[in-house]
Amino acid sequence: MTFLSQVADHLITNHKENLGDVTVVFPNRRAGLFLKKHLSKKVDKPVWSPTVYSLEDFLFRYSNVKKTDTLALVFELFEAFKTHHPGSEGFESFYFWGEMLLRDFEEVDHYLVNPKQLFHHIKSDRQIAEDFYFLDEEQEKLIQKFWQEFFPSATKSQEQFVETWKILAPVYETFKERLQKNGIGYTSHIYRQLAEKIDGEQLSVKGPVIFAGFNALTPVEELLIKHFVSENQSEVLWDIDAYYLENDVQEAGGFLRQYQKDNILRKSFPETIPSAINTEKHVDVTGVSLEIGQAKAIGEQIGELLDDGVPLEEIVIILPQDYMLFPVLNAIPEQVDKLNVTMGYPLKETPLFGLLEAALEVQEHSQLSATNGLSFYHKPTLDVLSHPYLYKEEKNPLDKLIKDIKKKNQVRVFHDDIQEVGSTVLNTIFRQIKTEENYATYLQHVVEVLGQQVVERFGLEREYLYHFQQMLARLNQILAAQSTQVDLKTFKGLFRKATRSIKIPFSGEPVEGLQVMGVLETRNLDFKHVFMLNMNEDIFPAAQRNGSFVPYRIRKAFDLPTFEVQDAIYAYLFYRLFQRSERLSFYYNMYADFGMSGEVSRFIRQLEQESKLTIRRKKLSNSIQVKERLPISIDKTDDVLENLSIYTDKVSPKDQKRLSASALNVYFNCKLQFYFKYVLRLFSGDELSDELDKRNFGNVLHMALEYLYLDAIDGKPDRSITENDFFKIRNSVDGAIEKAFRKHFGMGDKRKFVLKDRNVVMADLIRKFVNKIIDLDEEYAPFSIVSLEKEDKYERTFRVQPNGSVYNIRLGADIDRVDKKDGAVRVIDYKSGKDAREIENVDKVFDTTPGTTWKKGRNKAGFQTLFYAWLYTSKHGSNDAVIPGLLNMQELFQKDFDYRLTEGGEPLTDARPHLEAFESKLGDLLKDIFSRDVPFDQTEDERTCKFCDFKGICGR
Ligand code: SF4
C-alpha cells in the first residue's frame, strides 16, 4: 500500500465525520493531487475533501509578505551591498556573488542563526573565547581553528575575505529592511518572521492539521511544525522504514531518529515501525556506456513493460540530472500516449536560450553604414537561421538564404536579404534596436513573436516561453531601476547568469500517464516500477558544488548544513524508493567523463553489503564496443553506374558534369573517396570564415591574377603582353586584389568593403606574390595570353568500352593560365605551396602501387599539368611545343626559380612526345573507373585517410 493510500486510510478512520475541516500538509504540492485520487477510491459517498497544502503554501497564509524570485532578490541584495560597500562593481559582476550570498542568508534564516554572531569579525586570537561564549567547547574549537589561520599574517585572499565578511551582518540587516519595505521575501525569511511571531501569539487554524511525509526539517520548519503539534493538537505522519530508522549507522534515518527522541514529535511515531525494504523485490543495476545509452536502455525496458500490460501510472522515471530530460523524452517508446514531467528544468538547457543568445550576438555584431545599410555578422546570423524553431517553420526560404550566404562566402549578411524571407520572427531579430529600447525589451519582443508561432511537441515549449517572458520582464524592471544604461556586453553577461540559475518548474497533471520526475519530487509518492538514471557516485549523492561565503568550520560551529546533511537527505530519498516498489532499475554511466568518476553510487554498494536484497548487476557496453572495422567496398551496381553516368553523354547535356584532374587524382588516392565525392557528390560544408585560410588564400590569389591580366589584354585582339603594359599592370595590382577579396566575401560591386585584421596581412602577402609573378612575366615578355582560368573551358569527350558498354566520358579543366611565345605554349597551374615538379616518366604519374600514392610517390601536380597539356592539344592541335608548368608560390623567390616540370632532372620543354602514352594510360584509368568489375574500395594507404572528410564513415 502506498504512503498516500495510508494517509487516505488514516483520514477515513480518524476524521471521516469532519473530513472537510482537516488540513493535510505535505512537503510539496504534488502529493496533494495523488492523495485526492486515493481518497476518491476509498469513499463510497460524496464527502467534503480535506484541504491540502504544501508546507510553503500553508505557512505563507500567515504572512503578508510576498515570495519573490531570485533575480529580484539578488537585485535587492545588490542595493543593500552597495550601501555598505560604496563604489562596488556593477550588478552584472555582483550577480554571481549575490546568488551565493543569498543562499547563505536563506540558510541563516532556515537554521535560525544570529547573523551578527555568525558574521562576527575576529580581530585577535584572544577575542574568540570572549566573543563566542554561547558556543559549546567543540564549536568554539572549530571557530578557533578557522580564525587562527588568519593570525598572525593573513594572505591577500584572506584579507579580501575578511573585508567582505565584516560587512555581511550589516548587509543582512539592510537587505531585510529593504525586503520589509517592499513587502517581499524568500521562503526561509517568511518562515523566520513567523517563528519570531509565535513567541507571543498562536498561529490559528480551523480543524485538525496533519503534516505528512516530512524528513530533514530545517530548524525553522521544525519549530513551526512543533508549534502546531503542541498548540493545535496537530498530527504528524512519518513515511519511514525500520531498515534505516532502527539502525544507527544508516544516515537515511539520522533526522528521524532525532525526531523520535524529541519531546513533542516522539508521540507521533507508530509503535510498530514498518519494515518493507528488506522484502522480496527485483533490483537491477545496469552500467551503460555513455549517458545517452542510459536513456536508450530505459526506453527499451519501458516498452517491454507496457507490452506486458503494466499500466503507465505504475511507472516512474527519476532523473537526478535535469539535462537528461530531453534524451529520455526522445527515447520513450511509441506506446506512451500520456506523460507527465515534474521537475525543475534549467532555462539555460532549453533550445530557446540558444536562440536568444544568438539574437544578442546578432545585435552585438550588427553594423549600420551609410553605404551598405544594416548588416549582420554571418556566424550568429547562421545560428539563428538554422535554429530548429525557425527552420522547421520556414524551411525552404531559409535553406536558400543559408546556401546563398555560404556560397557567396558572405561574411556580412545584409538586412535586405533577410527581409526577403518575409518571416516575422526574423524581422524581429534582425533589426536595429531603437534608442529607447533596452535589450530585455528586444528579447521580450522576440519571445512574444515566437509564442505566436511555436508548434508544441511535448507541450513544454510554451512553458519555456512563459518563463523567459517572466524573467525578461523582471530584468527589464531591474534595468529600469538602474541609473546608468546597461551596454550589450553587460546585458549579455547578466542574461546568461540569470538564466543559469532559473529552473522551469514543469508540473502537468501529475496523476496521469508515465511519470518523469526529479529526485526531490519523488517524496511521498510510490510506484511499482522505478527507473532511475545517473546512479553514479558524485551525482547521487551529488558532490558539493554550491559555493558559500561561510567556511566549513564556521558552518559546523553554527550547525549550518554541510555536505553530510545533503548526503543524509539523498540517502533517505534513495531508501524510500524501496519501501513500496516491486521492481527497481538503476542505470549508471560506466565511463569517467567531465569530472564524473564512472563509478556506481556508494548507495548501491551499501545496499549490496547491508541488505538482504538480491541485486542483479549488468553491463550494457555494446554501444561503445570497439567494433572490428569492416572493409567498405561499393560494387558498381546499375544504380551506381547510373549515378556515375553524369560524367557521360548518357544524361542530357544540362545534367552533364566533367571529370577534372582533381577528381581523377582522388580516384588514384582512394576509390571510395572518389565514390563519396564524385558519385554520391557528398561535399563537406566548408566553414565560412571572415579571414582567409590556406585554401581561400590560393583562390583569392588566382582571382587577383586573372583580373589583372584580363584587364591588361582588354581591347587587344592579339592578347599580347609587352613591356609597355607593365606600368599599367603594376598600378592595377591593388584594385585587382580588392576585387578578388570582394568576390570572395560576396560583397558585390556597390557595397563598401574595408580589409580588416588578418586579411590586411593576407592582402600584403598576396600583393607580394602577385608582384613577383609580374617581375617574372616582365622578364619573359613579350608573350600573348591564350586563356585565363574562367575564360576558356578545355574539354574533351573520351570513349571507353569497359565490359562491352560504351561510355563517352566528359573530361575538362579550367587551366589557370595558358600563354604563348615564339611557338611555345605554357600551360600553367598556380600552386600556393611547393608541389613536386619531377615526374620521372609518364607511367609514374599513373602508378598507384601501394606506397606511391602519398606525397613523394605519384606526382599529382605532374599528372594535372600533363592532363592540361593533353586537353590543350586536343583543342588547339599540336603545332606548338607545350610546356607544362607549376607556379609554386613557395619557390617564387628562389634564385633559380623554374616553373617547368622536370623529367629525370631535366626541364620538360615539350610534353607532346608524351601525350600518346598519357592518353593510353588515361584510357585505362577511365575504363577502370567505369568497369563493373572494379568496386569503389578503400585505399590501403591509411596516410591518405588523415585529411579525408569521410574518415568518420570509414572509421579510420
Ligand atoms: S577515409 Fe580513407 S578509405 Fe575512407 S574514403 Fe577516405 S581515404 Fe578512402
Could you please report the per-residue DSSP string of 446-501? Answer: HHHHHHTTPPPSSS-HHHHHHHHHHHHHHHHHHHHHSSSPPPHHHHHHHHHHHHHH
pLDDT at 430: 96
Cα 878 to Cα 20, 549, 782, 795, 873, distances in angstroms: 108, 87, 22, 16, 5
Q: Whose CA is nearest to atom 2 of ligand 1?
A: 945
Dump pLDDT digits (tens) for 84-127. Answer: 988 767 788 888 888 989 999 999 999 999 999 988 866 665 66
Judged by average pLDDT, the poorest of 275-284, 511-520, 535-544 is 535-544
C-alpha grid cell for residue 431? 533589426
Q: For every residue of 225-281, which 3-state class applies, written as one string?
A: HHHHHHHHCCEEECCCCHHHHCCCCCHHHHHHHHHHHCCCCHHHCCCCCCCCCCCCC
> 945 C-alpha to center of ligand 1: Å?
5
Cα 599 to Cα 317, 567, 572, distances in angstroms: 21, 17, 21
C-alpha grid cell for residue 217? 526539517
Cα 267 to Cα 14, 67, 217, 243, 445, distances in angstroms: 17, 33, 17, 20, 58
- pLDDT bin (cut points 50, 70, 90) of residue 490 is confident
938 lines ligand 1 (CB under 6 A): yes
Distance of alpha carbon 673 from alpha carbon 948, whole angstroms: 8
Q: Which atom of ligand 1 is nearest to the CA of 669?
A: 7
Q: What percent of the chain has pLDDT over 70?
A: 91
Instruction: Please say whether the beta carbons of 795 and 812 come within 8 A.
Output: yes
Q: Whose CA is nearest to atom 3 of ligand 1?
A: 938
Other Cβ atoms less than 10 A from the Cβ of 798: the count is 16
679 lines ligand 1 (CB under 6 A): no
- The residue whose CB lies within 8 Å of the most ligand 1 atoms, and thus the one to mutate among 854, 938, 946, 953, is 938
The residue-averaged pLDDT of 744-753 equals 76
pLDDT at 126: 63
Distance of alpha carbon 22 from alpha carbon 16, whole angstroms: 10
Dump pLDDT digits (tens) for 877-906. Answer: 989 999 999 999 889 899 889 999 999 889
The residue-averaged pLDDT of 220-248 equals 94
Higher pLDDT, 661 or 412: 661
> 679 C-alpha to center of ligand 1: Å?
14
Helices (H), 16-89: 30-42, 55-60, 70-84
pLDDT at 804: 87
Distance of alpha carbon 366 from alpha carbon 383, whole angstroms: 14
C-alpha grid cell for residue 470? 517572466
* Range among 10-14, 423-427, 473-477 with highest mean pLDDT value: 10-14
pLDDT at 458: 47
Total residues found in the chain within this entry: 956
Nearest to residue 71, comparing CAs of 184, 233, 236, 204?
Answer: 184
Judged by average pLDDT, the poorest of 705-719, 751-765, 839-853 is 839-853
pLDDT at 685: 56
Dump pLDDT digits (tens) for 632-641. Answer: 999 999 999 9
Task: Indicate if the pLDDT at residue 136 is higher than 80.
Answer: no
C-alpha grid cell for residue 227? 508549534
> 954 C-alpha to center of ligand 1: Å?
6
pLDDT at 127: 64
Dump pLDDT digits (tens) for 687-707. Answer: 566 666 767 888 899 999 999
Q: Which atom of ligand 1 is nearest to the CA of 944?
A: 7
The residue-averaged pLDDT of 308-314 equals 93
944 lines ligand 1 (CB under 6 A): yes
- The residue whose CB lies within 8 Å of the most ligand 1 atoms, and thus the one to mutate among 668, 669, 673, 679, is 673
Dump pLDDT digits (tens) for 389-431. Answer: 887 666 678 888 988 888 787 888 999 999 988 888 999 999 9
Where are the extended beta strands (E) located within 129-193? 184-185
pLDDT at 854: 42
Judged by average pLDDT, the poorest of 55-69, 136-150, 159-173, 658-672 is 136-150
Other Cβ atoms less than 10 A from the Cβ of 671: the count is 20
pLDDT at 856: 54
> 923 C-alpha to center of ligand 1: Å?
24
> 942 C-alpha to center of ligand 1: Å?
8
666 lines ligand 1 (CB under 6 A): no
Which phi and psi angles does 78 have, rounded to 5°? -60, -45
Cα 431 to Cα 210, 416, 425, 955, distances in angstroms: 57, 10, 11, 45
The fold of 3-62+203-268 is Rossmann fold (3.40.50)
Residues 6+ apart with CB under 8 A from 342: 30, 506, 507, 508, 510, 515, 516, 517, 518, 521
Higher pLDDT, 764 or 952: 764
Q: Which atom of ligand 1 is nearest to the CA of 938?
A: 3
80 lines ligand 1 (CB under 6 A): no
Domains 3-62+203-268 and 639-686+788-931+938-949 alike in fold: no
Q: Which atom of ligand 1 is nearest to the CA of 676?
A: 5
pLDDT at 233: 82
User: Domain 282-338+512-624 class?
Assistant: alpha beta
The residue-averaged pLDDT of 638-658 equals 93
Other Cβ atoms less than 10 A from the Cβ of 763: the count is 19
- pLDDT bin (cut points 50, 70, 90) of residue 944 is confident
For the chain, give the mean pLDDT.
88
Q: Are strands 936-937 and 906-907 parallel, antiparallel or unpaired?
A: unpaired
Considering only CA atoms, give the Rg of the chain: 38
Distance of alpha carbon 496 from alpha carbon 508, whole angstroms: 27
Instruction: Please say whether the beta carbons of 815 and 871 come within 8 A.
Output: yes
Task: Indicate if the pLDDT at residue 291 is higher than 80.
Answer: no
Which phi and psi angles does 136 have, rounded to 5°? -80, 175
C-alpha grid cell for residue 444? 521580450
The residue-averaged pLDDT of 429-455 equals 85
Q: Please tell me whether residue 905 adopts helix, strand or coil conformation.
A: coil
Task: Indicate if the pLDDT at residue 483 is higher than 80.
Answer: no
* Range among 266-270, 333-337, 489-493, 886-890 with highest mean pLDDT value: 266-270
Cα 893 to Cα 771, 834, 899, distances in angstroms: 11, 12, 12
pLDDT at 451: 83
Q: Which residue type, as a one-letter code, is found at position 55?
A: L
409 lines ligand 1 (CB under 6 A): no
Nearest to residue 372, comparing CAs of 429, 413, 422, 432?
Answer: 413
939 lines ligand 1 (CB under 6 A): yes
519 lines ligand 1 (CB under 6 A): no
pLDDT at 124: 61
Q: Which atom of ligand 1 is nearest to the CA of 951?
A: 1
> 665 C-alpha to center of ligand 1: Å?
14
> 886 C-alpha to center of ligand 1: Å?
28
Give ∠ CA 783-789-791 in degrees, rounded to 5: 85
Task: Indicate if the pLDDT at residue 670 is higher than 70.
Answer: yes
Instruction: Please say whether the beta carbons of 418 and 373 come within 8 A.
Output: no
The residue-averaged pLDDT of 763-772 equals 92
- pLDDT bin (cut points 50, 70, 90) of residue 588 is very high
Judged by average pLDDT, the poorest of 169-178, 179-188, 501-510, 945-954 is 501-510
Residues 6+ apart with CB under 8 A from 853: 668, 669, 939, 941, 944
Higher pLDDT, 497 or 908: 908
Distance of alpha carbon 467 from alpha carbon 469, whole angstroms: 5
Residues 6+ apart with CB under 8 A from 927: 800, 801, 802
853 lines ligand 1 (CB under 6 A): no
673 lines ligand 1 (CB under 6 A): yes
- The residue whose CB lies within 8 Å of the most ligand 1 atoms, and thus the one to mutate among 854, 945, 949, 953, is 945
Q: Whose CA is nearest to atom 5 of ligand 1?
A: 673
- pLDDT bin (cut points 50, 70, 90) of residue 43 is confident
Second CATH level (architecture) for the domain 639-686+788-931+938-949: Alpha-Beta Complex (3.90)
Q: Whose CA is nearest to atom 1 of ligand 1?
A: 951
Give ∠ CA 123-125-129 in degrees, rounded to 5: 105
Distance of alpha carbon 377 from alpha carbon 756, whole angstroms: 14
> 948 C-alpha to center of ligand 1: Å?
6
The residue-averaged pLDDT of 650-668 equals 93
Residues 6+ apart with CB under 8 A from 71: 471, 474, 475, 478, 498, 502
Task: Indicate if the pLDDT at residue 493 is higher than 80.
Answer: yes
The distance between the two most distant Cα atoms of the chain, rounded to a whole number of Å, is: 119
Q: Which atom of ligand 1 is nearest to the CA of 954?
A: 4
Instruction: Please say whether the beta carbons of 861 and 833 come within 8 A.
Output: no
Distance of alpha carbon 246 from alpha carbon 22, whole angstroms: 31
Higher pLDDT, 769 or 86: 769
pLDDT at 913: 95
> 644 C-alpha to center of ligand 1: Å?
19
DSSP 677: I
> 670 C-alpha to center of ligand 1: Å?
6
Judged by average pLDDT, the poorest of 288-302, 867-881, 919-933 is 288-302
pLDDT at 334: 86
601 lines ligand 1 (CB under 6 A): no
- pLDDT bin (cut points 50, 70, 90) of residue 625 is very low
Dump pLDDT digits (tens) for 804-821. Answer: 899 999 999 999 999 999
The residue-averaged pLDDT of 170-187 equals 96
pLDDT at 623: 46
The full set of domain ranges for the chain reads 3-62+203-268, 68-133+144-193, 282-338+512-624, 348-507, 639-686+788-931+938-949, 694-781
Judged by average pLDDT, the poorest of 182-186, 310-314, 337-341 is 337-341
- pLDDT bin (cut points 50, 70, 90) of residue 179 is very high
Nearest to residue 118, comparing CAs of 557, 548, 552?
Answer: 557
The residue-averaged pLDDT of 759-763 equals 84
Q: How far apart are the first and last CA of the chain?
A: 57
672 lines ligand 1 (CB under 6 A): yes
Q: What percent of the chain has pLDDT over 90?
A: 54
Higher pLDDT, 529 or 695: 529
- pLDDT bin (cut points 50, 70, 90) of residue 624 is very low
> 862 C-alpha to center of ligand 1: Å?
23
Q: Per 3-state DSSP, what percentage of the chain is helix, strand, and coil (rounded to 5)?
A: 50, 15, 35
> 861 C-alpha to center of ligand 1: Å?
21
Q: Whose CA is nearest to atom 4 of ligand 1?
A: 954
951 lines ligand 1 (CB under 6 A): yes
pLDDT at 134: 67
pLDDT at 323: 87
